[in-house]
Amino acid sequence: GDFLLMATTDRDAILGYEALRATLARLSGRAALRNLTGGPFGAVAKTLHRAHEAIMTEAKRRTPVRWGILRASGHVEPPVIEGSAIVSHGGFGGPAAPYAVFVHEDLSARHATGAAKFYESALLEAIPTLEGRLGEALSVELQRVVAKG
């Protein structure tokens, strides 16, 4: 099971879409905008990665545990640019825990520790504040880039 967190210029994903689009269009020729180690995209990527790590930590707390393999398989990869989006991939499973999707999706299973939908529920709870944090990080960094001229 792989879940994605995305920061994108999609008008449903970011408040102030028109202002953001105009600013990005004006600054689009600058190399710093495509750099995930600095500049506006770097600020969003860093914020997205931190948020995804926090979601993963909470998801691991909720993960059913029998031997601990499933919980240990939870991971977050560094953000990458895919088209017009900054994407953070993460998930549970892999060769050590190929059963992850079954444990995650089985709502009828009863676990001594944890529950089904451990990753999804942590992600859904984080979404209401995620947009604001990403927007703030981008706004601060864009203001810095614009001030530099």
pLDDT digits (tens, 9 = 90+) for 36-79: 666 667 777 888 888 899 999 999 999 999 999 999 999 999 98
Nearest to 74 by CA among 58, 86, 85: 58
Nearest to 61 by CA among 11, 119, 6: 119
What residues contact residue 131 under an 8 Å CB cut-off, 6+ apart?
13, 14, 15
**Type of residue found at 35:** N
Instruction: Decide: 87 and 5 in contact? Cβ < 8 Å.
Output: yes
Q: What is the pLDDT of residue 36?
A: 64
Q: What pTM does this model have?
A: 0.73
Instruction: Decide: 141 and 39 in contact? Cβ < 8 Å.
Output: yes
Instruction: Decide: 54 and 126 in contact? Cβ < 8 Å.
Output: yes
Over residues 89-144, the pLDDT tens digits come to 999 999 989 999 999 999 999 999 999 999 999 999 998 888 887 778 777 777 77
What residues contact residue 106 under an 8 Å CB cut-off, 6+ apart?
116
Residues in the chain: 149
